[in-house]
Amino acid sequence: MDTYHFTRDIRHETGYDLVIAGGGPGGCGAAISAARQGARVLLVEASGCLGGMGSSGLVAAWSHMSNGKHSVIGGLMLELVETMYDRGFIAPTYDERFWTTIHNRGLGFNAEGYKLLLDELCRASGVEVRFFTRVLDAEVTDHTVNGIILHNVEGFSFVETPTVIDATGDAILTHACGAAIRRAGQDTPNIMPPTLCSLQTGIDYKVFNRGLQQEAVDRALADGFFSQPDRHVPGLFRSGEHFATLNAGHLFDADALDTASLSEAMCQGRRLAWEYNEFFRKYVPGCERMELVTTAALLGVRESRRIVGEAELTADDYRARRTFPDQIAIYCKQTDIHVYAPTPEEYARYHKEFEEADLLQPGEYYGLPYGILVPKDWKNLWVAGRCCSSDLKVNGAIRDQPACIMMGQAAGTAAVQALRTGQQANTLNTQTLVKSLRDQGANLP
């Protein structure tokens, strides 16, 4: 590779206790929790709103929050869902049973309501949010981050900080720090495909039956309707009175860590959104007048980078429903590895895995240990969200938003503890952390 050496003096900023890269579920969970505990928090977000996949990605749905016997969420996540419900931002078909008693079901929400609430909560807790600002790099010495390099419309700046959280989903900051990473496709022949989600309106909910989607997909495939024979269509998910989120159109072979591939995937995703809109109009009762409102600003990436952490959550832990003395959250979503290619073999593999999946029974859950948030040997760096340390299979369970928000709350609280006690991320006293999370209402049996 040809290289160019770039040097210049840039703005130097100080005065923060914690800088967080990325304002998705992991980053917001961390920022609000740390700021409420008195930390001076800078939250750096590349887009113009908070929420990450839940807003810019139009994944306006929270997965499982109850295991059928009890809720698995607590703390900030519980506060978010209750507040969204009270303010009418949860879609009409859902109520509190979906996070207290109903077994393993998600719920849809209004992405604009979510953005508004996150703005308000950040403002109320004193988080400084910097939109349209990208974390580019970091200066590190001996597994310690001294500060990070940002860029926005004002130019570059170096922000000195004693603690840092990477909540970029793609582990952009951790990778820039030189910490060990697992890259998508490293251990598998292909990368799990992303999807560009979209917002749809004009659905007649008196007629529409989500259970009939698959049968319609099979009919359309038999007619040769689709440009790619993708049988795995998660489909429409009600997210408001008159609208729905559409999760359809796998972007096979797209690599979120390759800009050319990512760019191509966005164009392909927009094309597929129109194709699926047409499919629903033609084949699914109640969708005859369905209209595509918008596609997402962010590609729905399922797999890019996962850190190598102090601990790793594995499929064995999932199968054993393992709990941990230092667990920072519990969760109950099943593993979910999407098809890697639109081939009959892949669908057979997917269905077999899904049918034989070790689904959690009522009352079951597994724990998320603290060490999955800490890049191995790092002293003042944490991650929160999809890029946590987990094998691919179990990542398909805990990358979902409720788990990411709970990881965020734990990472933010751990950073505050480190600031107050001088402890390091990789040797933090986890008994103190767990107590502190419980004091904040975390659901840690």
Residue ranges binding ligand FAD (CB under 6 A):
21-27, 44-47, 52-54, 56, 59, 61-63, 106, 134-135, 167-169, 172, 194-195, 197, 247, 300-302, 385-386, 399-402, 404
Is residue 158 a contact partner of residue 408, using CB atoms and an 8 Å limit?
A: no
Nearer to ligand FAD among residue 23 and residue 369 (C-beta) = 23
- Where are any strands of DSSP class E within 10-162? 11-13, 18-21, 41-44, 61-62, 107-108, 128-130, 134-141, 144-152, 155-160
**Around Cβ 126, how many Cβ atoms within 10 Å?**
15
Ramachandran area for residue 249 (φ above 0: left; ψ -120 to 50: alpha; else beta)? left
Minimum distance, C-beta of residue 403 to ligand FAD, in the bound complex (Å) = 8
Minimum distance, C-beta of residue 189 to ligand FAD, in the bound complex (Å) = 20
Coil, strand or helix: which one is 97?
helix
Q: What is the DSSP string of 77-88?
A: HHHHHHHHHHTT
Nearer to ligand FAD among residue 22 and residue 202 (C-beta) = 22
Nearer to ligand FAD among residue 133 and residue 430 (C-beta) = 133
Coil, strand or helix: which one is 160?
strand
Minimum distance, C-beta of residue 110 to ligand FAD, in the bound complex (Å) = 15
Please give the helix or strand (H or E) that residue 114 lies within, else none.
helix 111-125
Nearer to ligand FAD among residue 54 and residue 147 (C-beta) = 54
C-alpha–C-alpha distance, residues 392 and 188, integer Å: 9
Minimum distance, C-beta of residue 306 to ligand FAD, in the bound complex (Å) = 11
Nearer to ligand FAD among residue 167 and residue 368 (C-beta) = 167
Minimum distance, C-beta of residue 388 to ligand FAD, in the bound complex (Å) = 8
Minimum distance, C-beta of residue 197 to ligand FAD, in the bound complex (Å) = 6
Nearer to ligand FAD among residue 79 and residue 288 (C-beta) = 79
Minimum distance, C-beta of residue 108 to ligand FAD, in the bound complex (Å) = 8
Nearer to ligand FAD among residue 312 and residue 400 (C-beta) = 400
In which residue are the tokens 């064995």 written? 316
Minimum distance, C-beta of residue 141 to ligand FAD, in the bound complex (Å) = 22
Coil, strand or helix: which one is 235?
strand
Coil, strand or helix: which one is 269?
helix
Minimum distance, C-beta of residue 49 to ligand FAD, in the bound complex (Å) = 8
Apex 27 CA angle, 112 and 151, nearest 5: 95
Please give the helix or strand (H or E) that residue 164 lies within, else none.
strand 163-166
Q: Which amino acid is at 389?
A: S
- Read off φ and ψ for residue 59, nearest 5 degrees: -90, 70
Q: What's the CA dihedral at 217, 220, 225, 227 to 10 degrees?
A: 30
Nearer to ligand FAD among residue 222 and residue 239 (C-beta) = 239
- Read off φ and ψ for residue 378, nearest 5 degrees: -85, 145
Please give the helix or strand (H or E) that residue 237 lies within, else none.
strand 235-238
Nearer to ligand FAD among residue 121 and residue 167 (C-beta) = 167
